[in-house]
Amino acid sequence: MENNKLSELLVRMQKGDKSALERVYNEYFSRIYEAALYRVRNRDDAYDIAMEVFMKLCGYQKPFSEVANPMGMLYTITQNAVRDHFRRIRFRAEADIETVERSEEFEDGLWVSDMMCLLTEEEKDVFASHLIWGKSLKEISEERGCAYITVKRIYRSVKEKIRERYR
């Protein structure tokens, strides 16, 4: 869904159009969830974060018609919700390692965690923007205010690191 269509749906949603909310949810919930999962590595927490993002969208006070980049806004709200999540859990006691079950979810989390350790913050952001948010490398370069070739080089570096690690 392009920015203009998303903007139109958000404006309709803000006016109480439930079908617009449903379309935004159907189109973007999985992307928001995946972006959160990529960062928190826990499916339940990622789901909670994605729901929190939609609650914030529903309660957004400023007119959506004034939002220049609705996709960027969704991305920013998601990233802020993830940061809030980490702030909240920082104060919680660490889970007892013996209670962690060796489930597929845990093993997937270990794989993702292992892979993410290979990447710099810049590489993680480009990786998430491209694969999770579906942005083109050109869009990412425009958002970051850098040359397209720079973003392409960063993304190529990500692919090379992953290939090298998992050969």
pLDDT at 111: 59
**Could you report the per-residue pLDDT of 28-80, keeping only the tens digit for each?**
999 999 999 988 989 999 999 999 999 999 998 899 989 999 999 999 999 99
- CA dist 90 and 46 (Å) reads 16
Q: Specify the DSSP class assigned to residue 96.
A: P
**Could you report the per-residue pLDDT of 78-100, keeping only the tens digit for each?**
999 998 888 887 655 444 444 44
| Burial class (CB within 10 angstroms; exposed 0-12, middle 13-18, buried 19+) of 80 | middle
- CA dist 61 and 10 (Å) reads 12
**Could you report the per-residue pLDDT of 98-145, keeping only the tens digit for each?**
444 444 454 555 556 667 778 888 888 888 888 778 889 999 999 999
Domain-wise residue ranges, the chain? 1-104, 118-167
pLDDT at 86: 85
Q: Specify the DSSP class assigned to residue 131.
A: I
Instruction: Please provide the average confidence, as pLDDT, over all residues in the chain.
Output: 83
CATH code for the structural domain at 1-104: 1.10.1740.10
Inter-residue contact 31 to 133 (CB < 8 Å): yes
